[in-house]
Structure formats: C-alpha cells, structure tokens
C-alpha cells in the first residue's frame, strides 16, 4: 500500500521542497548582507571587490521580436518606452503579414524586418547582428511583443548585474487576464498558469538563482536580460529547436559563461493563451522545446546537470502518477457507485489490483489536499481569493499538463523543428478595468 505522505511528496514535489529550503537560506543570507551594510555605514569595512556598478536604463537595448502582433504591439511599446528611451527599443518583424511593421514604426522605435519567417530565434539572431547590439550596448533585454514591463523592473533587475558573475537575469512573470474579455475557461486557464508561475518562481527559481548554488533550467524569453558580452558565445539559433530560451540558458551553464540572476521584484506581465486550445498548443511547444534542448546538450559533471536530472526525473514520475490518477480514481470509486460491477471479471480484478496499493483516503490526503494547500498558498501570495472558487479544477488541468509533458518526449528525438512560429490569438487590452 502506497502511504498518503509519499503521494503528497510526489504531488508537492521534492524539487519544490529542496529549492524552497535553499530559497529560505537565500533570504537569510540577504538579511545578513543588509545587516553588514548597516554596520559598514557606521565605520566597518565591507569588501566590494566582487561588485561593479553603474548600469542604468540608457545601457539597455530592448529587442522585441514580433510575428503578426498588430493587436498588442503598440501597447507593449508604450509600456517599455515609458521606462527606457525610445531609441533603445528595437523591433524585428519576423515575416509579419499584418500591420506590425507600420504600427511599430509609428511609435518612434527602431524597426527592421526579416526577408521571410525564420522563427523567433532566427529573428533574434539576425536583429542582434543588424542592429549591432553587442557593439553598442552592454545589456540587451529580450522582450515578447505581448509583454508589459512593470515600473521597478529595471531598478531591481539591473542591480543584479552589479555581481560580475551574473550574465543573465530572468524576469518575474505574471499573467494578464483583466481587460482581455476572457470567458470562464479563459480565466481558469489564466489562473492555472499564474498558479504555475507563482510556485515555480517562488519555490524553484528563487532558490536556484542564489549566487552560492546557481543552477536554473530556464531564463524565460518573455522579458529577460543578457550581458551582450556573452551573446557571441551563445548559439542563439541552433537547428532543430522549436524555442530558444531553454537553449540559451543551457548554453550559459554548459559553457560556464556565468550565473543567472532572479528577483521577484523585476516583474513583467504577459498575455498567456486565452483559450484551452491555444493553451494546449503552447504547452506542447514548451514541452517539446525542453526535451529538444536536453537532447542537444549532453550531460556534464556539474551542478546544472544534477539540478536538471532531478527536475526531469521528478517531472516524469509525477506526470505518470497524474496521468494514471483518473483511471485509479475511477476503478476505486465505480464499484462503490455500482456494486454489481465488482462481479464483472475485468473490473473486479482491476479493482482488487488497484486497491492493493491505493485507497480513496490515501488519494484524498496525498493528492487532493496537498494540491488544495498549494492553491491556498498561491491565493495568499497573489492576494486573489477568487482562486479558491476554482480550486478543485486545477488538479484536472495538472493532469492535462502531465499528459502533454509525456506526449512531447518522443517528438524531441523523432522530429526536427523549424522554429517558425504562429502567435496565439491576441486581444487588445480594454482601457477600463473589467
């Protein structure tokens, strides 16, 4: 019989536990650092040889790849040019067939187009070269065309570059759902995605990006920053990959280019898919991109490979557990609803087999209750009590995520991707609160 607490560990995640504890250590380390700084103000000497300062928004080139983004690009450019000079913003239209180029050019930023649709990574690579960003700027921000950078992002993120070992900074993502005219399913998908973001950023990435044990599997491409000095050493557009951000992160660690920084204070809001269909397509793309990148980069004897191996192992085991969960529940509960089925040969034998290692109470306390606790924590952190109204619906969505994760694995070894993209259906944000 599988004990409920073992199921709870599988549902909550050993990675969340491990890196959550390391995140607490990072908080304590930061508090100790601030205490030392206060002491230095009263005469104590602090060693600052490992820090370099002076980066400001004028030093940042913003690079925005766009493919048919006429619905959102003006608002996104307005959001970023409120924080950085317009001449620092560079838009590359990747084979757009709508008014993306016209609208971006009217915003007073630099705009170029690729000759054809080469994919996001190909567009980034071409734009870095044609705009001469490595030669002109010390830092480049890669910004999705649907993303609004929040005030305070640069104050928080650029400070991380004071550490010369930090070569990339991951933004803290939040999903935009207000003002998009989403229906009930769209809002549920948005809440589910924000729940994932909250757990992975606060319980994984915060600990993974502590300077003492630095190893994270992705710097998300929606709003990330890189020192331009490392870009010539990163293969931005290797053939066969569907997305670029996993690969760029792997390159940073596997080539020992430096560390990744992250702070929850560097926030940017993005439009996640507003329909279940678009959500499934995006998840398939992300899952395929992860496994393609794993295939491309052989393991090495370093902390990054160990972190990645633990992450992938747990993802596989938890995905299998979640995919079989509905079958186990059905086998356990169906005879209780229809007792006569126990006499049926196949169903009776299946019930006897499943009940030998699982019980309804074990599933209740080992799967459902931990998932509800996670929702409560996220609702508290996000100050969104409405998450509790749909708390029971998040577990089925996790089952869907698990099925997609497993579905994508064979494709990483059996197919080659061109990297060409099709943006999800975007919606212009309403000007009045919904």
* Per-residue confidence (pLDDT) for residue 345, from 0 to 100: 72
Mean pLDDT across 28-41:
77
Q: What is the CATH number of the domain that holds 104?
A: 3.90.550.10
Q: Are residues 340 and 402 in the same domain?
A: yes
Long-range contacts of 207-210 (CB under 8 A, 24+ apart): 207/18, 207/19, 207/20, 207/21, 207/22, 207/23, 207/24, 207/25, 207/26, 208/19, 208/22, 208/262, 208/307, 209/170, 209/259, 209/260, 209/261, 209/262, 210/22, 210/23, 210/25, 210/26, 210/29
Q: What is the pLDDT of residue 341?
A: 65
Is there a single domain that holds both residue 361 and residue 277? no
In a domain, 116, yes or no: yes
Tell me whether residue 32 is in a domain.
no
Strands 148-149 and 166-175: unpaired
pLDDT in tens, 101-133: 999 999 999 999 999 989 999 999 999 999 999
- The percentage of the chain sitting over the pLDDT mark of 90, rounded to a whole number, equals 68
Query: pLDDT at position 4, please?
Result: 65
> What are φ and ψ of residue 255, in 5° steps?
-95, 5
Query: Based on the domain organization, do 62 and 150 belong to the same domain?
Result: yes
Which has the closest alpha carbon to 316: 290, 334, 354?
290
Instruction: Give CA torsion, residues 84, 79, 63, 144, to 10 deg.
Output: 150
- For 377, the domain range is 309-414
Encode pLDDT of 186-234 as tens digits.
999 999 999 999 999 998 999 999 999 999 999 999 999 999 999 999 9
CB 195 within 8 A of CB 247: no
User: What percentage of the chain reaches a pLDDT higher than 70?
Assistant: 89
Check whether residue 315 and residue 292 sit in a common domain: no
pLDDT band, residue 34 (cuts 50/70/90):
confident
Residue 44 has pLDDT above 50, yes or no: no
Rounded CA separation 304/317 (Å)? 20
Question: Is residue 227 located within the same domain as residue 262?
Answer: yes
Is the pLDDT at 90 greater than 50, yes or no? Answer: yes
In the sheet where 148-149 sits, what is the strand order? 110-113, 89-93, 60-66, 139-143, 223-227, 166-175, 259-270, 148-149
As a dihedral over the C-alpha atoms of residue 6, residue 7, residue 12, residue 15, rounded to 10 degrees, the angle is 50
Q: Give every CB contact of residue 234 below 8 A, 6+ residues apart in sequence.
A: 226, 248, 251, 252, 255, 257
Residue 194 lies in a domain: yes
Looking at the structure, do residues 82 and 167 belong to the same domain, yes or no? yes
Give yes or no for residue 340 having a pLDDT over 80.
no
Looking at the fold, whether 187 and 243 belong to one and the same domain comes out as yes
Residues 253 and 329 in one domain: no
Give the predicted TM-score (pTM) of the model: 0.89
> How high is the pLDDT of residue 293?
96
State the pLDDT at residue 315: 92
Phi, psi of 421 (to 5 degrees): -125, 160
What H or E segment, with its residue span, contains residue 110? strand 110-113
User: What are the tens digits of pLDDT across the range 353-383?
Assistant: 788 778 888 888 888 998 999 999 999 988 9
Listed residues 256, 281, 299: the one ending a domain: 299
Q: Which two tokens stand for residue 218?
A: 């992705």
Among residues 104, 88, 117, 80, which one has the least CA distance to residue 222? 80
Whether pLDDT at 47 is above 50? no
Q: How many CB atoms lie within 10 A of CB 33?
A: 11
- Helix/strand/coil for 270: strand
Number of domains in the chain: 2
Examine residue 141 and state whether it is found in any structural domain, yes or no. yes
Q: What pLDDT, in 10s, does the model give residues 403-430?
A: 999 999 999 998 888 777 666 666 665 5
* H or E element in which residue 292 lies: helix 276-296
Strand blocks (E) in 185-339: 223-227, 259-270
* Res. 281: pLDDT tops 90: yes
- Encode pLDDT of 2-14 as tens digits: 666 677 776 667 8
Residue at a domain's end among 275, 299, 323: 299
């Amino acid at each position: 019989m599988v004990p409920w607490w073992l199921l709870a560990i599988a549902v909550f995640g050993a990675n969340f536990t491990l890196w959550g504890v390391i995140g607490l250590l990072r908080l304590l380390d930061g508090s100790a650092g601030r205490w030392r700084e206060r002491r230095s103000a009263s005469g104590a000497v602090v060693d600052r040889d490992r820090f370099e300062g002076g980066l400001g928004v004028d030093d940042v080139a913003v690079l925005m790849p766009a493919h048919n983004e006429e619905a959102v690009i003006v608002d996104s450019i307005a959001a970023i040019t409120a924080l950085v000079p317009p001449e620092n913003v560079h838009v590359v239209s990747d084979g757009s067939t709508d008014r993306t180029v016209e609208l971006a050019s009217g915003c007073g930023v630099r705009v170029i187009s690729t000759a054809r649709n080469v994919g996001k990574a190909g567009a980034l690579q071409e734009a870095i070269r044609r705009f001469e960003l490595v030669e002109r700027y010390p830092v480049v921000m890669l910004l999705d065309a649907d993303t609004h950078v929040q005030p305070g992002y640069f104050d928080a993120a650029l400070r991380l570059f004071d550490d010369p070992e930090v070569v990339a900074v991951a933004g803290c993502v939040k999903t935009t759902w207000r003002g998009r005219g989403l229906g009930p399913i769209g809002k549920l998908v948005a809440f589910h995605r924000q729940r994932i973001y909250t757990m992975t950023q606060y319980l994984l990435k915060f600990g993974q990006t502590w300077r003492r044990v630095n190893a994270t599997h992705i710097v998300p491409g929606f709003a990330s920053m890189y020192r331009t000095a490392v870009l010539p050493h990163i293969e931005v557009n290797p053939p066969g990959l569907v997305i670029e951000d996993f690969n760029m992160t792997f390159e940073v660690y596997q080539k020992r280019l430096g560390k990744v920084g992250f702070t929850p204070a560097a926030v940017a809001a993005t439009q996640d898919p507003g329909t279940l269909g678009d959500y499934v397509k995006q998840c398939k793309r992300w899952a395929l991109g992860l496994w393609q990148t794993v295939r491309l980069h052989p393991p090495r004897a370093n902390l990054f490979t160990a972190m990645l191996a633990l992450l992938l192992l747990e993802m596989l085991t938890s995905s299998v557990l979640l995919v079989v969960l509905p079958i186990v529940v059905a086998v356990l509960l169906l005879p209780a609803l229809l007792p006569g089925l126990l006499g049926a040969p196949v169903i009776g034998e299946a019930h006897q087999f499943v009940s030998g290692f699982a019980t309804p109470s074990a599933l209740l306390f080992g799967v459902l209750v931990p998932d509800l606790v996670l929702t409560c924590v996220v609702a508290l952190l996000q100050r969104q009590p409405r998450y509790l109204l749909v708390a029971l619906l998040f577990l089925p969505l996790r089952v869907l995520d698990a099925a997609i994760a497993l579905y994508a694995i064979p494709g990483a070894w059996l197919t080659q991707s061109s990297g060409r993209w099709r943006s999800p259906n975007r919606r212009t944000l309403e000007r009045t609160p919904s």
